[in-house]
Structure 1
């Protein structure tokens, strides 16, 4: 498919994981892609695999509003327009409430929530011109609680409801806003978990499809939500969770 020929897409957190898979997916479908991350070498490694004339590699920390404004300005200057913003950059901190520091709390909020808000605000004037689309990477951790994960749960829960709120506010402007809510996905953020076979067995038991998610599977849903195939979809927080959210939490009977 070439659903994004002539379109310009920004993907934050594009140096690895879901962001990398998403950048590659949009590029494969003909888009001009701006890959944004704060990690220079991994970002360069991803960018070099994509068509140079249709790819921009940009260093930025999305927790810095001025850096996000500059990111959008740079992309529009290079490609002349903006059609899709994928707010994917994220970090994780967890632990017992009494042991979570102010710095850990602010770190998660600054990237996982503030960065989404800054991106949407900066991109909006350009997305209005193209009747564009925003897709946020939320999480199943934003639709229900996890043990010892309060900062991440709070930030992702806010992204879920921010997605709904912006869909209401921006619909009349022709801009759609949706999110994806993955369950456990094989990324750098979850690398330690992927080495714990006992923990993975517990996840497989809870996931109806019996396995963890791969980044390209989330990227495919992001691309759908950003495409004209989803032209009447806005305000949706789409579970990409192997069926986890289909359960009411009770154990299987057999």
Structure 2
């Protein structure tokens, strides 16, 4: 394992859930972290926590990942603040709507824009700097990117896209940049289905916790580039044989 001490990281979707937990996990390992999301108030609170508890530097960069110029500015701000970029955690994602027939154009467009376009913009902006640092790209995928999801096929398709994109980027960069994908099943966060957030739907320990995903991201980031290509995180009952 490599040390993350003094490395610089960008985490998108960092205002809550997996993103916030990932920022904490990286800071715990000594990385300086640029936290990005749309909710600047939450980012300010998180940055103060990271600096106060872990003694690292934290940059607050409010960012809508669907805005190409904003994503470019996020990466440039991070490089200027920390002197380079060693790690991008592409985590920002949304779910909207349910079945195909009942899904509105806005719901469809929002998922495609955040989950696919945002991932592409962040990757494109970060790759030149990650090549310079021989750094790491970690994509937060989903169980839905490996298995069909009948109740929200468009969301599932965006996660299949993410996984395919990540693997293809990995093939393209060779040994210049490490690329990993972390695929959690249901995670107890603000992720919302049918108006109910998963943190309210599930009891602690019933499904995957944000901190477990964050630990997997930090683990992947600290490995030799050839070591971790993909990590799946399921609750124990996910693949259990039905009685």
Q: Secondary structure at the match of 1:22?
A: helix
| Alignment correspondent of 1:180 | 182
Q: Secondary structure at the match of 2:49?
A: coil
Q: Deviations over 1:37-68 (max 9, x none)?
A: 11111111211112176110100101111111
Q: 1:239, 1:245 within 8 Å by CA — same for their partners in 2?
A: no
Which protein has the bigger helix share?
1
| Alignment correspondent of 2:111 | 108
| Alignment correspondent of 1:233 | 227
Task: Please report the TM-score for the alignment, with normalisation by the length of structure 2.
Answer: 0.90
| Alignment correspondent of 1:219 | 214
Per-residue deviation, 1:243: 4.6
| Alignment correspondent of 1:59 | 62
Task: Give the Cα separation in 1 of the matches to 2:230 and 2:225.
Answer: 15
Q: Does 1:169 align with 2:172?
A: yes
Per-residue deviation, 1:194: 4.0
| Alignment correspondent of 1:7 | 7
Task: Give the Cα separation in 2 of the matches to 1:170 and 1:243.
Answer: 34
Q: Deviations over 1:136-182 (max 9, x none)?
A: 1110011111232122101011001111101100114x101111111
Q: 1:140, 1:181 within 8 Å by CA — same for their partners in 2?
A: yes
Per-residue deviation, 1:3: 2.1
Q: 2:100, 2:154 within 8 Å by CA — same for their partners in 1?
A: no
Task: Give the Cα separation in 2 of the matches to 1:154 and 1:29.
Answer: 33
| Alignment correspondent of 1:91 | 94
| Alignment correspondent of 1:195 | 200
Q: Does 1:138 align with 2:141?
A: yes
Question: Structure 2: 5+ residue runs without aligned partners?
Answer: none
Q: Deviations over 1:97-148 (max 9, x none)?
A: 1111111111001111111111111001100111000001110011111232
Aligned residues: 237
Q: Secondary structure at the match of 2:187?
A: coil
| Alignment correspondent of 1:207 | none
Q: 1:224, 1:230 within 8 Å by CA — same for their partners in 2?
A: no
| Alignment correspondent of 1:50 | 50
Cα RMSD, aligned residues only: 2.2
Task: Give the Cα separation in 1 of the matches to 2:38 and 2:100.
Answer: 28
Question: Structure 1: 5+ residue runs without aligned partners?
Answer: 205-209
Q: 1:2, 1:30 within 8 Å by CA — same for their partners in 2?
A: no
Task: Please report the TM-score for the alignment, with normalisation by the length of structure 1.
Answer: 0.87
Structure 1 outlier segments of 4+, above 3 Å: 193-196, 243-247
